[in-house]
Structure 1
Amino acid sequence: MPLAMPRFPSLVPPSHPRELGSMRWASSSSHHQARSRSSRTMPFQLSFLHISAVVLLVLSSAILNQGRSTAAVVQGAAHAAACASHDVANPLAESFPNNATGVLNATLVIIPISLEAARRLIPPQYGILEQAYRALLPDFPKGMYPVMLQAAHDHDVQLRAYGITLDDFSRVGFEFPFLDLLGDGYSSFRWAPAQLISATNTIAVEGSRAYGTIVSEAEYDPLCDAYRQLSNGASYFKGSRLAAPAEFIEFETTRTSSLSHTAYPLELFKNITNQPTFANASTCDNMIRLFNTSMSLGEHAPVAVRGRVKASHSLPFKGVQEWTDVYGVQLATPFIENNYLDCRTMQGYEGTGGPGDSFIQTRKEEKGRYSNVNDL
């Protein structure tokens, strides 16, 4: 969950050439890849410090919970009593017990804005890699930039080896991909400056704030799913800030004919959601989202959607904004996550969704049980 994970041990390298696959950024060249190869593979070792960080985070969460607002406490009680998610169970926890894993059920919507508007919203020190997104979207309107809305429900997030499982939570925010954080002209990063996060999950709230994210504690409709179906067949989702001033993001979408006829290819969303993410650039989040597992088949396969998005006082936008006739996708992806990384180590990052759980199961049968991806 980009910018919303606690400080779990980071044991999966940000890019693994075989087990997690590779994706060449649209603007990368073999010369650039050679320059950055040494920084793409970073094995992490489990240490007492890592384990202590997890324990301290859980303990501090209990203390922080005592200081939550009455509204949040009431909402938390209702959540515990009524929440029953329709999300699929985490398929990676058993195979990667020493890693933070989970399932992210999300609606991803592309909102085209002018490059001039994007330049006003994005901090001036971060260049926009227009050639990178145009390589994926050759017909994207001239002079426009693709903002991505991500509205998601994090489900069954756990660190199996230590018996740690987080309560489910929801989050929503505007994200700005294809940014030149390092100034090298080719490494794409995604800026996610602000999020609305479920007030019932203090670990997620504080984990996101540790990146410098502006976090608003929020309540959601629906309470414990990525969206709900309306009587007209449309999907609906709304996140609302608990405290003043009033802030919310909502969407209503309907399914389109098929992914093959949608405005944006699935490869675009795979690229964007696997870009290293940052808020104030003090550290970066590396979420490895798997797009080709059994979770992407049958009734759980990604679906193309079309609809409207409305936001009120949601940073970095101001006032009330509404976008109609926007397109995107609804999908569920399992993930493995590395938190609080030095952004410079992600130069030239080529991570993609990678092999799915069917591949993992095959490898387990061939080589026996292993503790993390580096053992394959």
Structure 2
Amino acid sequence: MPLSMPRFPSKAASYPRNIAYRWATSIQKHRSKMSIQFSVLPISAILILMISALFLSPSNSAPTSESQGMCTSHTQSNILAESFPNSATGVLNATLGIIPISLDLARRLIPPQYGILEKAYRSLLPDFPEGMYPVLIQAAHDHDVQFRAYGISIDDFSRVGLEFPFLDLLGDGYSSFRWAPAQLISAVNEIAVDGSRAYGTIVSPAEYEPACNAYSALPNGATYFKGSSVSSHEFVEVEMEQLPVPNLSPYSVELFKNITNQPTFANGTTCDNMIRLFNTTMSVDELAPRTVRGRVKAKTFPFPEEEEQEWADVFGIQVATPFIENNYLDCRTMQGYAGTGGPGDSHVAGSLGDVHDL
């Protein structure tokens, strides 16, 4: 999820407007000295937007905790901000699930210029039913998102949508990309809404149950998460139960690691490179991914807007992962990116010398 116009330190508002250009230039020089092993832009286009927004429209500030009401997340704090102070980092607490649909339906929903890399997903899912395609449902809460070196942070928000992985965006027959055409995003966070729309995403500002967490607990022990558009009949509802034995799920954590690390696009003009780390202290031992099964109900794009969809026996995981994000990249720079395990996305070294592996 891209950033857009985050809150700056209050003293910045007193700077002259021409400082914006000099500040951006200084940041660009500073970032060029970073000793990290994954590809980043010298300065994210979104950072320029943030700086411009601050000086040209001082009234456009991020919503405060007061505007969102009393809202306390149970998600752990961002553990990557200190190691990667010059990059956008945060925590994504999510329910991830696979919805099998027919390949014929997938080809009708996915724009025809993007081929489906069936060989790529079958290498991870050798027993996946013939003639079927894996759609990803991602219901998530973004927490403690910040750009530590510049004192930038944004308020927490939730988002949900159907995403289509293993697509041949570049036409090379190999590089896997994930199409995320539409999202419901917390209406109170205009920064997140505008940031996603900048990719060409169809965004519906939404209200969430629960408002401040990745899911709530039901009396029967299941978890519940629902996003409902404030301006239309769109919604996505996810109810999951933990499996008594993890290996009852047909999908491994490695599958979700691969899919969620594929570069994401909406209209294909720019791509979002979110690197999600699955083996930090946030997702081991008692915090390890929980295997779940449940149902998903939705009325959302790219399915016909008048039709409500419902899928049962949706298997997946629930896990909180820290992330490093590079926004608004030229999609061609992601060529050869095959998800986790490839050069540049499975091993990253922080600016303080520590190392994280996917």
TM-score when normalising by structure 1: 0.80
| Structure 1 match to 2:302 | 316
| Structure 2 match to 1:32 | none
| Structure 2 match to 1:296 | 283
Question: How far apart are residue 55 of structure 1 and its match?
Answer: 2.0
Q: CA offsets, 1:75-124, max 9 Å, x none?
A: 97562x32000000000001111110000000001000000000110001
Question: How far apart are residue 297 of structure 1 and its match?
Answer: 1.1
1:189 aligns with 2:177: yes
> Quick one: distance in 2 between partners of 1:217 and 1:256?
32
| Structure 2 match to 1:326 | 314
> Quick one: distance in 1 between partners of 2:263 and 2:70?
35
1:239 aligns with 2:231: no
* More off after superposition, 320-329 vs 252-261: 252-261
Percent sequence identity over aligned pairs: 62
1:131-146 aligned within 5 A = 131-146=119-134
> Quick one: distance in 1 between partners of 2:120 and 2:221?
36
Question: How far apart are residue 43 of structure 1 and its match?
Answer: 4.9
Question: How far apart are residue 326 of structure 1 and its match?
Answer: 1.1
Flag structure 1 segments of 5+ consecutive residues without an equivalent. Answer: 21-40, 67-72, 367-372
> Quick one: distance in 2 between partners of 1:275 and 1:214?
20
| Structure 1 match to 2:274 | 287
> Quick one: distance in 1 between partners of 2:119 and 2:58?
46
The one of 136, 146, 151 aligned to 2:139: 151
> Quick one: distance in 2 between partners of 1:204 and 1:59?
19
**1:12/1:102 CA distance change after superposition, 3 Å:** farther
More helix by percentage: 1
> Quick one: distance in 1 between partners of 2:243 and 2:3?
32
1:232-271 aligned within 5 A = 232-243=220-231, 245-271=232-258
> Quick one: distance in 2 between partners of 1:61 and 1:138?
53
1:337 aligns with 2:335: no
Q: CA offsets, 1:175-207, max 9 Å, x none?
A: 000001111111110000000000111111000
Q: Is the 8 A contact 1:308 1:325 kept in 2?
A: yes
TM-score when normalising by structure 2: 0.84
* More off after superposition, 253-262 vs 181-190: 253-262
| Structure 1 match to 2:20 | none
**1:140/1:52 CA distance change after superposition, 3 Å:** closer
**1:7/1:166 CA distance change after superposition, 3 Å:** closer
Amino acid at match of 2:249: T
Q: CA offsets, 1:333-367, max 9 Å, x none?
A: 000001101111111014536358xx869944x9x
Q: Is the 8 A contact 2:199 2:267 kept in 1?
A: yes
| Structure 2 match to 1:114 | 102
Q: Is the 8 A contact 2:4 2:46 kept in 1?
A: no
SS in structure 2 of the partner of residue 82 of structure 1: coil
Q: Is the 8 A contact 2:94 2:140 kept in 1?
A: yes
Q: Is the 8 A contact 1:292 1:354 kept in 2?
A: no
| Matched pairs, number | 328
Flag structure 2 segments of 5+ consecutive residues without an equivalent. Answer: 7-26
The one of 178, 189, 204 aligned to 2:192: 204
Amino acid at match of 2:292: V
> Quick one: distance in 2 between partners of 1:299 and 1:343?
37
